[in-house]
Amino acid sequence: NRLPARKLIFLAEGGRADHFTAGFQLNFSWDFYGGLKNVWSNGYAASSLFTIHSNEYLGFQQVQKTSVYNQP
């Protein structure tokens, strides 16, 4: 099960903040997927994806900071 000399990127599917604490480096949430569909099929501005991305990762950072400060 070893992959010598290979770098892996772990991609989580979902919008939970604990994916990052579990070791995933990237997150692909259903909100982002819905945003992609809206841009592609419904003519939404591509900038709406940045808004979704920013909101998701801001929430993750707040959860991580809170959990760090609440450690015994």
Confidence of residue 37 (pLDDT cuts 50, 70, 90): very high
Q: Mean pLDDT in the chain?
A: 79
> What is the pTM for the complete model shown?
0.59
- pLDDT tens profile 19-31: 878 888 888 888 8
Is 16 within the bounds of a domain?
yes
- The token pair that represents 54 in the structure block: 């920013």
Is 69 within the bounds of a domain?
no
CB atoms within 10 A of CB 52: 17
Could you tell me where the DSSP H helices lie in the chain?
Answer: 18-21, 30-42, 47-69
Task: Count how many domains the chain has.
Answer: 1
pLDDT at residue 61, as a whole number: 59
Is 63 within the bounds of a domain?
no
Buried b / exposed e along 9-33 (16+ C-beta atoms within 10 A): eeebeeeebebbeeebeebebeebe
Is 62 within the bounds of a domain?
no
Is 39 within the bounds of a domain?
yes
Q: Does position 72 have pLDDT exceeding 70, yes or no?
A: no
Domain assignment of residue 37, given as a range: 9-51
